[in-house]
Structure 1
Amino acid sequence: MLDPVSERPRPPSAGRAVFLNDTTLRDGEQAPGVAFSRKEKLALAEALVAAGVPEIEAGTPAMGDEEIETLRSIASLKLPARIAAWCRMSENDLMAAVTAGLSAVNLSIPASDTQLAGKLGRDRAWALETVERVVGLARSLGLSVAVGCEDASRADPDFLCRLARAAQKAGAFRLRLADTLGVLDPFSTHALVRRVAVASDLELEFHAHDDLGLATANTLAAVMGGARHASVTVTGLGERAGNAPLEEVAIALRQTARLECGIDPGALRALALQVSAAAGRALPRAKAIVGEDVFTHESGIHVSGLLKDRSTYEALSPQVLGRDHLVVIGKHSGLAAIQMALADQGVQVDAERGRAVLERVRAFATRTKGVVPPAILREFYEDAFREAALRRRPARPVGA
């Protein structure tokens, strides 16, 4: 919501400032080749809520009986979160959601002329009438209704404002602006969200796609523009290049904007690993926030600085995420790291021998394209120790 005088986002209320709507079970499952079983969806729903997610977009009831039964099973868990179904803006999809026993729906309709005409052969007048009719029906059935504007990023902003007013009049509580094709940048995202926020009293949600690698940045820009709901998936799992990653949005909001969304940072890596396992997709080692290597250091300059003062190379404390820094030995290690790693094995090494070990480390790392295991590092030290001892041994007299 925007302040009507300043047209800036109003200060967040106490507690949760931004609400994350996780759509891993819906949009995440639309990633190529991903198919969650019912058991996996139930476990993931429980894990999402345990991590602090307040709303889950759990599936698409129009897919058929199997999906409806899965949604019904999730609803039966009675989790302390809003469980919603994604539906097209149609009576048939709406009634499928009712059959699934859910109390909330996201009703989606194309907002751009390109999609209205090209996909449905319809126009703006039809869209406005359909929103009023289907949202009104959903409200009469006792459902909480969010309206999704598909392809909002390519829609006429004035028409988006008209859709927002129609949705609000029919009883919707929220409007989703979807960057369906991932065409926005942070500046255009901020401008679009702010434009609609000024024209409507509806709560706004932003749904980003990562085709240009900007999903997280665009989501933060949307929040700065007035959105108080963000659509995310764990690890960014989703169609094409994926969606805005839950873990990135949650931590970036906290670090850069000092906004809380109620997510437990310590639960994020385990949650990411659980989703990756269910999706059959390995978690990239360098994945922001949750990757194995994001607090791992090899560079000699970085390690030396961290050993003296963590603030030199630490902006995000790994302890916040229940993790810690890890120093590995490799081609770019320096003397300080070699001495520390050997000290961890109970060995004190002087600078001369440390540099001899370092030469072996760099040759090994270049040859193997990997880091040096502790046991190999110890062998390098022992080799250097023996060589130094041989150099100190006096030469035997000739003829002795």
Structure 2
Amino acid sequence: MKQLNVEICDVTLRDGEQTPGVSFTCQEKVNIARKLDEIGVEVIEAGFPNISEQERACVKTVKGLGLDARICCLARAVREDVDAAIDCDVDLVSIFFATSDLHIRIKYKKSREEMLEQALGMVDYAVDHGLNVRFSAEEGSRTDTEFLKEMFRQGAERKAAYSSFADTVGCMTPLEIFNIVTELKAGLKNPLCVHCHNDMGFASANTFTAAQAGAFQLHTTVNGIGERAGNASLEEVLVALRMKNGIERYDLTKLQEISKMVEEYSGIKVAKTKAVVGEHAFAHESGIHIAAILEDPATYEYFMPEMVGGERHFVLGKHTGRKALAHVVSTLGCELSPAESDWVLEQIKERSAGKCSITPEMLLNLIKRSKECA
């Protein structure tokens, strides 16, 4: 396995909360932060303290928890935002500005050079006040690469602890992000961070690929929540790092728990087929699959559900076979003769074809009726 030097910065409390309609209470943020810390996440982005007094107070609360994780916050390249970060006494402040020509023209109406000079001034200001700085390029993926290199070079000279590249609109593919990270890393004097959005469904893949190319700090959110289509998924990135790079320091058994917590607090339902934490992530219906899994789960599960705090489920339906039925029936403390089994299986397939879910109660009723009908 390839050896990687990476850390996770989870941004659920900030970018995740920017999901339309989502707002966490301070206590909910505290609960999520504690669970992220238990998992072993190295950096937690607690919020954007200058947006409100309540947000600032919550960032301070998270910072005061005494977690092992370092606490980060977001700041635009303006004095009042950096002052808010200083007031919160965070371990790391992410000072950002939008670097693409499109954003500079539309949002700032200044030149590249003017915006860079303004941002570097805020890097100096934060460093002078004892803060570690992550110098962040919003819209990095649509920014001239030479400008990015110059920005990061000057940021490192001003003692920025990190350089950060954001695929803000999720427009990159894994091959594209591998190439840009490789190019940026070549002349970089500090660690590179990547922040990927999911507009084309590549956020987790891009984040993992960026790590293979040498990115150090990987940004994630629980359940992949975030603006528009969301961010890179914490659970997907951590499992990929475990399975493909042997990184075992994170406690993955808590992933189901934190997923359910964020689902409840955010009101954003997790898709049943969501990787790692979805209800069907370890659910099997096909008779061929279940028969093999009963012999050896590795036949149809690349990683075991126990690794991520999950459970395996066998679902009865139109694809169910005799071995699967016998196993499920035995878990209910029942036993069927071959004729009874055939009758129950026929009933299951008939009902499933009509889009009827086979609940445990329904199965018990069918088992009872089979004794009369078979």
Q: How far does the alpha carbon of each residue in 1:71-126 deviate from its partner, in whole angstroms, 9 at most, with x for none?
A: 11111112111111100111121011112232320000112111112210122211
In structure 1, the residue matched to 2:139 is 151
Give, in angstroms, the shift of residue 364 of structure 1.
Answer: 2.1
In structure 2, the residue matched to 1:393 is none
Q: How far does the alpha carbon of each residue in 1:289-322 deviate from its partner, in whole angstroms, 9 at most, with x for none?
A: 1112211111111111111222211211112123
In structure 2, the residue matched to 1:313 is 300
In structure 1, the residue matched to 2:63 is 75
Runs of 4+ in 1 over 6 A off after TM superposition: none
When residues 330 and 67 of structure 1 are mapped into structure 2, their CA distance, relative to the original with a 3 A threshold, is same
In structure 2, the residue matched to 1:48 is 36
**2:93 paired with 1:105:** yes
Q: What TM-score results when the alignment is normalised by the length of structure 2?
A: 0.95
In structure 1, the residue matched to 2:47 is 59
Residue 48 of structure 1 aligns to a residue in which SS?
helix
Give, in angstroms, the shift of residue 344 of structure 1.
Answer: 2.6
Q: How far does the alpha carbon of each residue in 1:175-200 deviate from its partner, in whole angstroms, 9 at most, with x for none?
A: 11000000000000000111100011
When residues 359 and 11 of structure 1 are mapped into structure 2, their CA distance, relative to the original with a 3 A threshold, is closer
Match of 2:330 among 343, 363, 372: 343
- List aligned pairs for 1:235-384, cutoff 5 A: 235-260=223-248, 262-370=249-357, 372-384=358-370
Give, in angstroms, the shift of residue 264 of structure 1.
Answer: 0.9
Quick check: 1:18–1:259 contact (8 Å CA) kept in 2? no
Q: How far does the alpha carbon of each residue in 1:209-251 deviate from its partner, in whole angstroms, 9 at most, with x for none?
A: 0000000111111111110110110001100000001011010
In structure 2, the residue matched to 1:395 is none
CA distance in 1, matches of 2:328, 2:33: 42
Residue 291 of structure 1 aligns to a residue in which SS?
coil
- List aligned pairs for 1:204-215, cutoff 5 A: 204-215=192-203
The number of residues matched between the two structures is 373
For the aligned residue pairs, the C-alpha RMSD in angstroms reads 1.6
Q: What TM-score results when the alignment is normalised by the length of structure 1?
A: 0.89
When residues 272 and 350 of structure 1 are mapped into structure 2, their CA distance, relative to the original with a 3 A threshold, is same
Residue 147 of structure 1 aligns to a residue in which SS?
strand
CA distance in 1, matches of 2:120, 2:328: 67
Quick check: 1:58–1:85 contact (8 Å CA) kept in 2? yes
**Which one-letter code corresponds to 1:382 in the other structure?**
K
Higher Rg: 1
In structure 1, the residue matched to 2:207 is 219
CA distance in 2, matches of 1:146, 1:225: 20
- Percent identity of paired positions between Structure 1 and Structure 2: 34
Residue 85 of structure 1 aligns to a residue in which SS?
strand
- List gaps (5 residues or longer) in structure 1: 1-9, 389-400
**Which one-letter code corresponds to 1:235 in the other structure?**
N
**Which one-letter code corresponds to 1:240 in the other structure?**
R
Q: How far does the alpha carbon of each residue in 1:234-288 deviate from its partner, in whole angstroms, 9 at most, with x for none?
A: 001100000001011010121123345x321101110011111111222222221
CA distance in 1, matches of 2:56, 2:332: 57
When residues 60 and 346 of structure 1 are mapped into structure 2, their CA distance, relative to the original with a 3 A threshold, is closer
Quick check: 1:335–1:351 contact (8 Å CA) kept in 2? no
- List gaps (5 residues or longer) in structure 2: none
Q: How far does the alpha carbon of each residue in 1:329-373 deviate from its partner, in whole angstroms, 9 at most, with x for none?
A: 122211111122222334333433322211111122233531x22
**Which one-letter code corresponds to 2:134 in the other structure?**
A
Quick check: 1:85–1:106 contact (8 Å CA) kept in 2? yes
In structure 2, the residue matched to 1:398 is none
**Which one-letter code corresponds to 2:167 in the other structure?**
D
Residue 33 of structure 1 aligns to a residue in which SS?
coil
Residue 45 of structure 2 aligns to a residue in which SS?
strand
CA distance in 2, matches of 1:360, 1:383: 10
Residue 177 of structure 1 aligns to a residue in which SS?
strand
Give, in angstroms, the shift of residue 377 of structure 1.
Answer: 2.0
When residues 387 and 66 of structure 1 are mapped into structure 2, their CA distance, relative to the original with a 3 A threshold, is closer
